[in-house]
Structure 1
Amino acid sequence: MQPKGSQAIAITSLAVPERGISTRSSAFCGKGSAYRSTRLPRHRTAQMAGLSIPDNNGILGDIRVLDLSEDMAGPFCTKLLAGLGAEVLKVERPGVGDIARRTGPFVQDMPHLEQSARFLYLNTGKKSITLDIESPMGVEIVQRLLQECDILVESAPPGTLDRLGLGYTAVAQQCPRLVYTSVTPFGQTGPYRDYQGAELIAQATGGLMHTIGLPEREPLHIGGNAAAYTTGMSAFSATLLALYARDMAGHGQHVDVSAMETMAVAQIHASIQHQFGHQPVRRASTLVRAQDGWVHHGLERGAREDTWTRVCALMGRPELAEDPRFNTRDARREHQAELLALLSEWTMTCPKEDIYHALQGLRSVAGYVATVADLRTSQQLLAREFFQLLDHPSAGPATYPGAPFTIRGSTWCHTRAPLLGEHNVEVYCDRL
């Protein structure tokens, strides 16, 4: 059965039921996978099919992933799997692709399916095919592709894939060793399972926003997409664990990742405090203005007792070392407003990085607020070769954030995001 055209295949919304957890990765396996013994490694099957695949020494180099997820959390999970060397086949809707392709900002501030900064970042290292998975042919093709896959990642509303015959229960009968990862706002069960979610909703329902902002004002939303990326990282970790469990137990599992639960875990200290009768406290910022930005002095917590005396000397105010308002950590917390005013007189005359290095040299847990421009020139990130230059045939060259971790002896796979349906011919003509 052949698709009707190179753009004849796409993914809409997907989903799955049930709750589970699993993870497996050749990175964590001392012995070889039993599953790998039943299938030729990817580079060998590629050679037999006449395909050209670059050398891959990633720890997931013989793992195949079918990516049915969209937007951010699921694609971030599969981006990390691709970074470790897995072959990630992204299934997209014909003609329109992943919703992230239509989300700005765009390279030239003009909407373009191949120039969304979000899509370009979240889908590095992947291959793209277009497929209408809601059609009978699309369902059959997904089922055939899954026969060669180790992992499926999806982000559809719970029950969507079940109705298509692609839910976990149905798929597990045909592919018992498959790790099936579902990434949704509230999980596959519970009274909220069918509710819609978004970044703000995850931060709010997970309790994060309750701890952010000024005490007398409304709670605040953290900028960026902290919930989506944290949820994607949780999905990545759980998927690797399920992959490892598969090698140990011989069968796959259903990994059920909830954005709400991910955020709630991030606030577990507040939950424990509440049980002991303490309400989470929202406090005013302890940042002070520097000559070119903002710094955190770190003198209220974590600093050694003699640090304050040395900071006073650094500021040219040695007499403050014995001031009872500031000579202990508790006193500095109690007189925080006065402390910030005093420190500001000094910090406003100095660059933020100079203050940071000076206070760190005195063993204060200090920091500075880095801008995006600061990150691009950070000596720490440059020393670790964090940023990677990738060239894209439509968007052009750009510098991308690299891996969030390194593993000795394994190379992170840095390749550009795919064009929509770029690998249709490879998959539909050479594999199926």
Structure 2
Amino acid sequence: MRLDQPEETKRNLTSTQSQQAPLAHGPLDGVKVLDLSEDIAGSFCGRLLADYGADVLKLEPPTGASLRRLGPFVGDDPHPEKSLFFLLMNLNKKGVTLNLETITGRNILKRLVPHVDVVIESYRPGYLADLGVGYDDLQKENPALTMTSITPFGQTGPYSQYQGEEVVNYAMGLIMSISGVQGQEPLKHGGFQAQYEGGLNGAASTSMALFMQSNTGEGQHIDVSVTECVASTAMATQTMYPFMGGTLPRRRASGSAFGHPMACEDGWIIVQTGGGATWDTIANFFGDPQLKEPKFADPAQRIRNTEELDQVVLDSIKERGKWDLFTKAAEARMLFGLVQTPSELLECPQLESRDFYREIDHPVIGKLKVPAALFNLSLTPYQYLRPAPTLGQHNSEIFIDGLEYSREDFVRLRQLDVI
């Protein structure tokens, strides 16, 4: 549907679609992708495309992608098929092995490219071009090709050749500067949040490029910098900085604990007073008569006596459970945040009700409950099709059935360490 269609036509189409049952295919059905990435960001980008209908083929070196060597591992067994990161980042993909360090491997890649719409990669800028399989080289094989490159600092600029990892992206992208307590060292969030940002932005930009490709037939090279993805989440902070006297918006060392984790009986709760509740309602919620004293009567007084206020609140919640606090605060129109542990998140009734988790059945690991559906489209919802591929699982299907190599040639490719 083109954007310049008459409004009446658009309304009719919308009305028809809203009455339809979910379809058996995704919004990216028919899109074919080669995923050359070995990291979290590129792999997550490919997984998102696969989750919503794209046919994604994971290409790994014969020894396996580096992500296979990243723990934790199921059963603490550092087996290439038991990396939980590889498992999660490569759901719904098929997988083959291909050695791009060999001439034959690069020629095979060039044979695959005419059959796909997108190539995802996360190598050092210039690495693929040095091998003769950069974007300009591959576009000669497929003029409509889109390549999505996701790297720590992007394809250009003075830092483009620098290596980077999660802590580097966080430090360079400002988020670390505004995390933690004033007067103390900056803090980094746990896990690999920067990499997921890179993957999300990679998938979004790839979808935009595919939209243009469908309209004009043209492909393009997408350049995603993970550091820029992180920095983009702090745009407002960066803009406000000059107007705050050069003070970074970090938590105070003492006082003003509202909006930050506070200890309760069985964990941590974020206590906030917003949401529409009056101060009388808030005071009654905490059940301490001190909160109705004049020194807490208005916002100015509460700021002036903030440390004492914090202590009153801490004393009132220290013997109360976080789940009880969370639900009763919501009923009182107070914005509390319940700090969930990983095991609690796995059983979260909100996520369960929305089918966020799916059970997969992996040939080596067995059955496992994993985070799956990041968002839902009413007509083309998330679909789980297959677990992450085992190393070289689809070599025969792709090289013999697809590219029509003979059995003898297939064996020879394995012997020469090409696949």
The alpha carbon displacement at 1:29 in A equals: 7.0
How far residue 348 of structure 1 moved from its aligned partner, in angstroms, is 1.5
Rounded to whole Å, the distance in 2 between the matches of 1:56 and 1:112 is: 35
Give how far 1:376 is off.
1.5
In 1, Cα distance between equivalents of 2:52 and 2:188: 32
1:289 paired with 2:268, answer no
- Letter matched to residue 90 of structure 1: K
Per-residue CA deviations over 1:284-314 (Å, capped at 9, x if unaligned) read 4532111111111112xx343x532112112
Q: Is the 8 A contact 2:288 2:312 kept in 1?
A: no
Tell me the equivalent position of 1:45. none
Gap runs ≥5 in structure 2: 5-22, 404-419
Q: CA deviation at 1:132?
A: 0.5
* Aligned-pair CA distance for 1:257: 0.2
Q: Secondary structure at the match of 1:419?
A: coil
Does the 8 Å contact 1:151/1:178 carry over to 2? yes
Distance 2:251 2:233 in 1: 18
Residue identity matched to 2:267: G
- 1:159 equivalenced with 2:159 (yes/no): no
Is 1:309 aligned to 2:276, yes or no? no
| Aligned-pair CA distance for 1:331 | 4.1
Q: Deviations over 1:189-225 (max 9, x none)?
A: 0000000000000000011100011112111111111
Q: Compared with structure 1, are the counterparts of its residues 308 and 93 closer, same or farther at alpha carbon in structure 2 (3 Å cutoff)?
A: same
Matched with 1:418 is 389
Picking from 299, 308, 314, the partner of 1:344 is: 314
> In the superposition, relative to structure 1, how do residues 85 and 331 fare at CA in structure 2: closer, same or farther (>3 Å)?
farther
Query: CA separation of 1:168/1:327 partners in 2, compared to 1, >3 Å: closer, same or farther?
Result: farther
Residues 29 and 199 of structure 1: is their aligned pair in 2 closer, same or farther, counting only changes over 3 Å? farther
Residue in structure 2 matched with residue 115 of structure 1 by the alignment: 82
Q: Distance in 1 between matches of 2:305 and 2:373?
A: 41
**Counterpart in the other structure of 2:67:** 100
Identify the residue that residue 370 of structure 1 maps to in structure 2.
340
User: 1:409 aligned to 2:409?
Assistant: no
What CA RMSD, in Å, does the superposition of the two structures yield over aligned residues? 1.8
Q: Distance in 1 between matches of 2:267 and 2:64?
A: 40
SS in 2 for 1:310: helix
Match of 2:105 in 1: 138
Map of 2:52 onto structure 1 = 84
Find the counterpart in structure 1 of residue 366 from structure 2.
396
Which residue does 1:247 correspond to in 2?
A: 214
Distance change (3 Å), C-alpha of 1:87 and 1:295: same
The answer to whether 1:68 aligns with 2:36 is yes
Report Cα offsets for 1:113-161 as digits up to 9, x if no partner: 0001111111111111001012111111111111010111000000001
Task: Map Cα deviations across residues 335-370 of structure 1 (whole Å, 9 max, x no partner).
Answer: 332222111122112110110111122222211101
How many Å separate the matches in 2 of 1:141 and 1:335? 70
The 1-side partners of 2:268 and 2:90 are apart by 33
Q: What letter corresponds to residue 52 of structure 2 in structure 1?
A: L
2:247 corresponds to: 279
Query: Is the 8 Å Cα contact of residues 32 and 117 (structure 2) preserved in structure 1?
Result: yes
Name the % identity: 38
Q: Tell me what 2:417 maps to.
A: none
Give CA-to-partner distance per residue, 1:55-107, whole Å, 9 cap, x none.
Answer: 9511112111000001200000001001001111000010x211111111111
C-alpha distance in structure 2 between counterparts of 1:400 and 1:59, whole Å: 22
Note if contact 2:24-2:380 (Cα within 8 Å) is conserved in structure 1. no
SS at match of 1:191: coil
- The answer to whether the 8 Å contact 1:93/1:132 transfers is yes
Contact 1:297/1:359, CA 8 A, preserved across alignment = no
Name the structure where helix makes up a greater proportion of residues: 2
List alignment gaps of at least 5 residues for structure 1: 1-27, 32-54
Q: In the alignment, residue 228 of structure 1 is paired with which amino acid? A: Q
Using the alignment, how far apart are the partners of 2:187 and 2:374 within structure 1? 26
TM (normalized to structure 2)?
0.86
With 102-111 and 181-190 compared, the bigger mean Cα shift is at 102-111
| 2:169 aligned with 1:202 | yes
What code does the residue aligned with 1:148 have? Answer: H
Alignment partners' CA distance in 2, 1:67 and 1:124: 12
Structure 1 Cα separation of the partners of residues 2 and 130 of structure 2: 36
Given residue 170 of structure 1, which amino acid in structure 2 is its aligned partner? Answer: D
Structure 2 equivalent of residue 257 of structure 1? 224
Shift of 1:381: 0.7
Q: Secondary structure, in 3 states, of the residue corresponding to 2:310? A: helix
SS at match of 1:147: helix
Count of residue pairs brought into register by the alignment? 377
Contact kept, 8 Å, 1:56 with 1:85, in 2: the verdict is: no
CA distance in 2, matches of 1:166, 1:136: 10
- State the TM-score, normalized to the length of structure 1: 0.84
